[in-house]
A and B are shown apart, each in its own frame.
Chain A
């Protein structure tokens, strides 16, 4: 097969944008969608995951329902719900840009997975840790803030790393609601240039570079917050 990369420097027909600059702006959109959704997912997921370990039954139930809801509907369908259904049911949301809707769709979907990890992290701590905090007179909130969560978050960094890499991959569904991110670029540029292999190779490479960067970044964080003398899950 004969590859030809010259077309990346051609303009797309508007006289100023080249395919290359379009590619990079698409990468930017991918990072923006995934980044914003990740922040949302991390915040919501931490709260929901923590609530799931509460000893107040109805709070835990509500948090469980959240997880089940967002975990059992395909992401693409959730994106369509945010894009087509919610604005038509709630008219004030009609003018919200589709970028924001996709961020919410992807963010809430991922929040259920983050919540699951955070819950597992907290529950993997020895039960005595909670008791030790309480026995010192810490309130429930203080026990979570100073005793349980600092360890739980260290424990869940590896699974959260894969979730962060997943969110980059999952942001590709934004193509379905016309966000000009990498996958939509791939489809449109392939159509226009008929150089599908080159286009897909470029896009795929950018996805892999992004995922690898996140992986390294999280490994760095993991190293920074490592607790001396603590080997995960010993005892």
Chain B
């Protein structure tokens, strides 16, 4: 029963021995995958909107394939394929970083595409009318507006990404959740460990999404 919960094992030793490493990796994975995913995702979005089939088609296929496979399966695929391709095994952590970057790019690209399309067509015409090229129009006029429109959605996707990092469980990488699990086994308190994990994830994600919500209202006012 609830009375049997013993949280006394939660002390500095637990944090430094088990959680810090996992937390550090979860954050690292989130940030790298976000940065890489947004860059690669924007490129994918521009390819899809370029109007050139030889660019648009491969990009669309890539995005749609990634989006129709469960993330766990994608993690397993990369963990299996990368060693086959490079001829030697690679750590679960590094494999996860590559996987998440390439996987998240598909999701970020859809957000960017919607963002670019949300910028009024007239803005593009105005850019062309001033003599700007396609690249200049995108870089100087459309993308800055799209990015601001899409900032809340991009950040929400990043919170989802942070939650999804827990799925590296499938290949045994040592992330925050793994830290809690190992700690639970070590102290023989698995129930408390999972409960604490839920609380920690909730606090992080809830605070971040509250920030995003605030940002959203601010952006709405500016517009």
Contact = CB atoms under 8 A, between A and B. Distances in A.
Contact of A176 (B169, B202, B205, B209): B169
Nearest to A172: B70
Nearest to A211: B68
Contacts of B201: 72-74, 77
B73 A172 contact: yes
B195 interface: yes
Interface residues of A, number: 40
Overall SS of chain B's interface: helix
Contacts of A81: 194-195, 198
Contact of B194 (A77, A200, A212): A77
B80 A72 contact: no
Tell me the dominant secondary structure on chain A's binding face: helix
B130 interface: no
A98 to B, nearest CB: 15
Given A72-B201, A74-B164, A197-B80, A89 B191 contact: yes
Interface residues of B, number: 32
Nearest to B168: A76
B197 interface: yes
Given A78-B198, A80-B194, A200-B77, A183 B166 contact: no
Contacts of A76: 166-167, 169, 177
B177 A170 contact: no
11 contacts: A72-B202, A91-B1, A169-B68, A175-B170, A183-B70, A183-B73, A183-B76, A186-B76, A200-B76, A207-B70, A211-B68
Given A84-B190, A200-B73, A204-B73, 9 more contacts: A72-B209, A74-B167, A74-B177, A76-B167, A84-B194, A172-B73, A173-B72, A200-B80, A207-B69
Interface of A: 1, 68-69, 71-78, 80-81, 84-85, 88-89, 91, 165, 168-173, 175-176, 183, 186-187, 190, 196-197, 200, 203-204, 207-208, 211-212
